[in-house]
Amino acid sequence: MAVSRLNHAVLYVRSVAKSVEFYQQVLDFKVLFSFPGAAFLQAPASNNDHDLGLFEIGDKAGASSAGRSTVGLYHIAWEVETLADLEVIAERLKERRALVGASDHGTTKAIYAKDPDGIEFEVSWLVPAQLIGDVEREGRKTIRPLDLEREKRRFGAGTRGGVGVSFPAAAPVQ
């Protein structure tokens, strides 16, 4: 029995209302159902029962120290279909001062942000398998700054990205 993909993530947050508003406004998630202190959201193109669960623990909750002094989750990653989608989300995140980085991983073009509680997440576009060349394959070994305008010229703003890791069959993942 093999695991095929991540179905959903669940986060503890200070305020469900504040987090719901953020994920709705930035990533277009919709609330499927909620009850006091919890909400379950779905991504726009998802067919999951829910993609994100939020549980409120209150305004006095301390910040996570994961990665600084304790083990824990670094980030979760959401995929978008096009570089144009990635650009729209990057602009929304900039407006909220939530964007914290943008990286070119060769086969993945990614932006990084923090939600209202400082929980980091990634939004990425994957180069379609048929467009992956040696540069992209080698790029997995390095991280470069993302030049979104260059990538849109190269691949097309509306080109549908790969799903999951989009390596061509002839290229083994190392």
Q: Domains of the chain by range and CATH?
A: 1-58 (3.10.180.10), 74-166 (3.10.180)
**pLDDT for 174:** 47
Whether the per-residue pLDDT at 88 is higher than 50: the answer is yes
Whether the per-residue pLDDT at 144 is higher than 50: the answer is yes
For range 109-129, the mean pLDDT: 95
**Opening angle at CA 47, ends 40 and 72, nearest 5:** 50
This prediction has a pTM of 0.88
* Residue with more model confidence, 132 or 50: 50
- Pairing assessment for the beta strands 144-145 and 99-104 based on DSSP bridges: antiparallel
